[in-house]
Structure 1
Amino acid sequence: MLNTILQLSGGIGLFLLGMSLMTDSLKALAGEALRQWLVRFTDSSLKAMFSGITITVAVQSSTATTLATIGFVSAGVLTFSNAIGVIIGANIGTTSTGWMVALLGLKFSISQLALPLIAFGAILKLLAKDRLALIGMTIAGFGLLFFGIDVLQQAMAGIAASVDLSRWSTESLLSKLLLVLIGFVMTILLQSSSAAITATLAALASQAINLEQTLVLVIGQNVGTVVTAVLAAVGATTSAKRTAAVHVIFNIVTAIFAFLFLFPGFVWAYQYITFIHKMDPVLIVAVFHTCFSLLGALIFMPFIGKFEQVLLKLLPEQESSLTRYLDDSLYSVPALAIAATERVLLQTLTDIYRLFIKFIRGEIITPMINTNELDATIKKVESYLEHMSVPQSLSDQQRLILLLRLAVYIRVLRNDLQEVAQVELLKKQQILQELPLALAAQLEKQIEYLQMQPFSKFPIDFVNDLTQLEQVSSEQQEFLRQKIIHASVNHQLTASQTLELLAAQRWIVHLIAHTQKVAVLLQQDQEVIE
């Protein structure tokens, strides 16, 4: 019996490791595509649901899809009502694992094929780079997943021969509820409904349990996923809590309907409809699992608007508008964490530029500038970037490097803002007042591009204009410096006024250079993205 338990544990471990490798690699491969898909194909609840199904099937992880949804709701790119559709779709898409196990893992003995897949994937990971290395990890994970299923099946055959599970019949309501509880606990312990359902399918294929027991266990396993969602939302942003709430309510309500109506319907059909009775029980469970999620979609999709209103009232937004979507849970999908950080940095940059414009045009004075919120935002972004691990994808690595550079420039501009009072000195001198006004006009254009949704590439003409302004200011620096010194020599300026003007002139030249470098950097950023 001990050997059987060890074999069972090893099989589950191999499955989880394979699933983790495959999912992480697919998320890295599809990270940016995942982001673009959600932006383009979620403009209605129905399209959002199909997007959730498609993305989850592609990356084999409803968690990745859910986290992506959290990030884009927070960023304002995706409405919360459409996010509900994506989450419902993710619950349907995650049933693809059951179909994969039922049609391949338990129908055919592929353990001999699994080992070469693991070897080939590992070699590809070691020898190749970037996308090929990620594909290698995906292949190795796929092989490990099915090797784990084979080990699980053997262990379940041993359990069927040595343990009598007939006492867990589904004849009484209490027995059914106990089986639901067992399924619930299985998902919590394994931290994966896919692993719990796979172990259950292996037990069914080995005749350790019967079809009725399996169906009730699957209901409990689906409910068990809500614990992971709740734990992920503890201490997280309001968007994460709302998303978790959708997941919890969807699964619990669907489970109740499935227990009361879907389960009895499947049992009756299996007993009294001949062609269904002749079907492979494992395949019936895969159908049941999909019908479970489809039932939830039928219940919730017509009422998404009201569902959204209720959740918005129950969980009102409390975080800062700028930092509310810097969610730690997005770290597991690097492309999304990078996109969320980019959004905050671009808005922070916009806020800094607006302060410069207002001051140059005399709309505000130094005592009116309150930078406490700005400083808090910059500090939080820097902390968020510090905890972000280096992504595996080369394109994501390049995006992260550019974000780090942008964060440095924002810190430099924030320091420039401390000396914004220099503008008052420049505006009093006719030979110096043109530069700040020209800069203000360029900053206004930058803000227009920064506010575009989604953020688009800076036109090359605009970057060239700013570069030209930077060159002119640099070329004039020595000439204007000599003019100021000449005015001082002729006693038109005091010594202190001369020093102040020289410092102010140096400040505006540096500020123009910094804004030009930011524009060039953001243009590079878009070229990398495209």
Structure 2
Amino acid sequence: MHQVFAELFGGVGLFLLGMTLMTNGLKDATGETLKKLLTKFTETQFKAMLSGIGLTLLVQSSTATTMATIGFVNAGIMSFAQAIGVMIGANIGTTSTGWMVALLGLKFSISMIALPLIGFGAVINLLGKDRIAVLGLIIAGFGLIFFGISVLQEAMNGFSKQGDLSFLNANEFLGQIILVLIGLVMALLLQSSSAAITTTLAALATGAIDLSEAIYMVIGQNVGAVGITVISVIGASVSAKRTVAVNVVFNLVTAILAFFILAPLFIYFYQQYTFFTQWDVLIILALFHTAFSVMGALVFMPATKQLEKWLLRILPNDLPAIMKFLDEANLEFSAIAVQSAQTVQYYILFEIFSFLSAAFQEGAMPSQRKIKQLDEIILQLEAYLEKINVPYSHESNHDFVSLLRVMVYVRVLRSDLENIDYAILLRTQPAVLQTALDYKHIVESYIQQREQLGNPKNIEPMRNELNSLKKWTSQHRAEIRQKILQHTEVNQLNAAKGIELLAAQRWLDRLVAHTYRFSNVLYESILKNEERKFKNGC
């Protein structure tokens, strides 16, 4: 019996390792595809559900879909209502594992095929580069999945001969509850509903349990999958908690309906109708698993708006709105993390330019509270950037490098705010004030909303005008200094005041130069990104 349990745990471990390798490989290979799929095909609730199904089939992980969905909600790409549709679809898509195991993994011995796949994938990963290396991980992961299933099947064969499960009785209510609890504990211990369902299919294939017992265990495994995601968002953002709450409500309500309606119907038809008894029990269990989630979709899809309102009410967001973009759940997908960080970066820059414009136009200084809040956001963004891991070959690598280059000027422009009180002084000196107002006019003309910072049609003309202003200030620097000195003498200002006016002029010159360099870096980044998108489109 000890050997049986050793094989059982080993088989589950191999399956989980294979799923992890394959899922991570698929996520790396399809990062941009995930983004395109969820941004282009979620306009309606039905399309959002289909996107959730497609995405989960693509990466073979409902957890990956959950993390991607949280990221897109945080990044403002997807509304929470759309996220509900995606999560419902993910629950349907994750049932594909059961079908794969039922149709392939337990139909014939594939260990002889699985082992060469593992070796072939490992060699490709070691010798290949970039996406070829990622393909090796996917192949090796696929082989490990089926080798793990083979080991599980052997373990369940031994368990069916030595184990006694006669105490399980799916015909009694108490027995049904016990089976559900067993399934729930299995999913929690294995940290994977796919692994739990695969183990159940292996037990069913070897006769360790019968179909009715397996059905109630699958119900518990779906509830257990909720427990996994709940644990993952302890201390996470409100967006993450709301998205996981969709899973909780969906799986719990669907489990109750399946327990009282769907399970009895499947068992009744299997026992009473010859047509169903001719079916393979593995296929029937996989069908039940899919029907379980489809039934939930039919119940919840018409009520997504009501579900959204309820969840927004019980899980309000008290943090500054911009901070939701820096959710660590976004780090699961580098493309989402980079876009989220860019959104926060644009927000910071827009705030800095707003402070400067108000100071030059009205002499209004930003409050210490606003400055402190801005500094906190900058610190949070810098900490977030350190956690983003973008492979060199990844499509998002260029965007990430551009983000870091622009970040240099975020810090430079923030340091310029330290002397923003010079703006008050400049308002007393007409010779310099006009330059300040010209600077303000250029910035305000092209950046009225933070989203415009990512538009090359705005950045290019702003860059050109800032360059002209920078050249003008350089050419007339000596002349303006002379006017300041004359102003000091005519108005009989003390030397300290004159020096302060000259310092204010130098500050304004640096501000114009820094903003021009920032616009130049931003323009180059946007231009290269547009060129890359054009090439990929071709």
TM-score (norm 2): 0.92
Distance 1:329 1:277 in 2: 45
TM-superposed CA distance for 1:333, in Å, is 2.1
TM-superposed CA distance for 1:497, in Å, is 4.3
Distance 2:445 2:125 in 1: 46
Contact 2:446 2:462 in 1 (8 A): no
Distance 1:467 1:500 in 2: 30
* Structure 1 unmatched runs, 5+: none
Distance 1:463 1:224 in 2: 54
Q: Which of 250-259 and 343-352 deviates more?
A: 343-352
TM-superposed CA distance for 1:363, in Å, is 5.8
Q: Which of 388-397 and 108-117 deviates more?
A: 388-397
The question of 1:505 aligning with 2:505 is answered yes
Distance 1:123 1:446 in 2: 53
Contact 1:121 1:140 in 2 (8 A): yes
Cross-structure match for 1:463: 460
1:479 aligned to which of 476, 480, 502:
476
TM-superposed CA distance for 1:169, in Å, is 2.4
Distance 2:484 2:278 in 1: 102
Distance 2:255 2:523 in 1: 50
Question: SS where residue 119 of structure 1 aligns?
Answer: helix
Distance 2:486 2:422 in 1: 22
**Aligned length, in residue pairs:** 527
Contact 2:439 2:469 in 1 (8 A): no
Q: 1:67 to 1:193 in 2, by over 3 A?
A: same
TM-superposed CA distance for 1:449, in Å, is 6.4
Partner deviation per Cα, 1:192-248 (whole Å, 9 max, x = no partner): 000110111111112221111111111000000111121122111111111121111
Q: 1:57 to 1:385 in 2, by over 3 A?
A: same
Contact 1:48 1:83 in 2 (8 A): yes
Counterpart AA for 2:306: K
Cross-structure match for 1:95: 95
Q: 1:471 to 1:119 in 2, by over 3 A?
A: farther
Q: CA RMSD in A?
A: 2.3
Partner deviation per Cα, 1:475-525 (whole Å, 9 max, x = no partner): 642531354147638945764344334332332232223223333333444
The share of aligned pairs that are identical, in percent, is: 45
Contact 1:215 1:263 in 2 (8 A): yes
Distance 2:227 2:166 in 1: 29
Q: Which of 210-219 and 132-141 deviates more?
A: 132-141
Q: 1:495 to 1:363 in 2, by over 3 A?
A: closer
Cross-structure match for 1:488: 485
Distance 1:441 1:470 in 2: 14
Partner deviation per Cα, 1:372-412 (whole Å, 9 max, x = no partner): 21111111112222333444752233333332333332122
Cross-structure match for 2:83: 83
Distance 1:12 1:520 in 2: 54
Counterpart AA for 1:477: S
Q: 1:525 to 1:25 in 2, by over 3 A?
A: farther
TM-superposed CA distance for 1:326, in Å, is 1.8
Counterpart AA for 1:414: R
Distance 2:376 2:335 in 1: 24
TM-superposed CA distance for 1:367, in Å, is 5.9
Distance 1:165 1:231 in 2: 31
Distance 1:211 1:372 in 2: 62
Cross-structure match for 2:277: 277
Distance 2:36 2:192 in 1: 27
Distance 1:98 1:133 in 2: 28
Counterpart mapping for 1:243-322 below 5 A: 243-322=243-322
The question of 1:359 aligning with 2:359 is answered yes
Counterpart AA for 2:520: V
Contact 2:484 2:502 in 1 (8 A): no
Cross-structure match for 2:130: 130
Q: 1:410 to 1:186 in 2, by over 3 A?
A: same
Contact 2:363 2:424 in 1 (8 A): no
Contact 2:341 2:381 in 1 (8 A): yes
Partner deviation per Cα, 1:102-123 (whole Å, 9 max, x = no partner): 1221223222222222222222
Partner deviation per Cα, 1:80-113 (whole Å, 9 max, x = no partner): 2221111101111111111111122122322222
TM-score (norm 1): 0.93
